[in-house]
Amino acid sequence: MRQHLSKLDTRGTAAARRTRGVRKIHTRQVGSSTRPRNRALPPERVTKVSRHSAAVELQRVLFRVRRAVRTRLRGEGGEPEIPEAQAEVVHLLYRTPGLRVQEVANRLSLASNTASTLVGQLITAGLVKRRRDAADARAARLHITPAAIARVARRRDRGATVLEEAMELLDRKDRGVLVGATPALQRLLTVIEDPPQT
């Protein structure tokens, strides 16, 4: 009888030890899983993340502003719009007259035949004309017509009016921020169109 009780006591003691061991292991696991982890990003990483987020937001906002202005102008009626691809050629020749077709293709990252088709459509519409190159009689330079110049000026003025009216609805601080940001946006445009050589 004593021997039987001794065996039971030994088994009970062993079971208790195992239970305590499991509790200790469980406690360590829970403690390690709930302990707060300090994984703060280094300053240079935070800067890169913030800069990328700002770039994404800037791209989104600029696109929506441009689209909103175009929608307003379309809703006001007036002269019909020309396709976006043709408008890009017109604005390019407005800023840089005298380009050849291949130069237009290069500036706008278009295939040569695509640029040639767009130029032909604009010539038919009376917005672009060819002039013989004084240095090479076999080549032609592209210029926008007076009608196209007047069209660009009208749309520029109407678009500026839409923006001006919208800015008047903002408070003085926001208007100041927008006006102050214009030179920086112009510099941003310059480095996008003509990236510095590294």
Question: Quick one: residue 196, left, alpha or beta (phi over 0 = left, psi -120 to 50 = alpha)?
Answer: beta
Is there a domain that residue 137 lies in?
Answer: yes
Please tell me the distance from the alpha carbon of residue 160 to that of residue 52, in angstroms, as a whole number: 29
Q: Crossing angle for the helix pair 146-168 and 172-193, nearest 10 degrees?
A: 140
**Residues 6-23 pLDDT 10s:** 544 555 555 445 545 544
- pLDDT at position 32 is 42
Is there a domain that residue 42 lies in?
Answer: no
CATH number for the domain spanning 139: value is 1.10.10.10
Please tell me the distance from the alpha carbon of residue 72 to that of residue 160, in angstroms, as a whole number: 12
- pLDDT at position 75 is 83
Is there a domain that residue 147 lies in?
Answer: yes
Domain count, the chain: 1
Is there a domain that residue 129 lies in?
Answer: yes
- pLDDT at position 39 is 53
Please tell me the distance from the alpha carbon of residue 24 to that of residue 132, in angstroms, as a whole number: 91
- pLDDT at position 86 is 95
Is there a domain that residue 133 lies in?
Answer: yes
Is there a domain that residue 84 lies in?
Answer: yes
Spans of the chain below 50 pLDDT = 1-2, 4-5, 7-8, 15-16, 19, 22-38
Is there a domain that residue 95 lies in?
Answer: yes
**170 lies in which domain range?**
61-193
Is there a domain that residue 37 lies in?
Answer: no
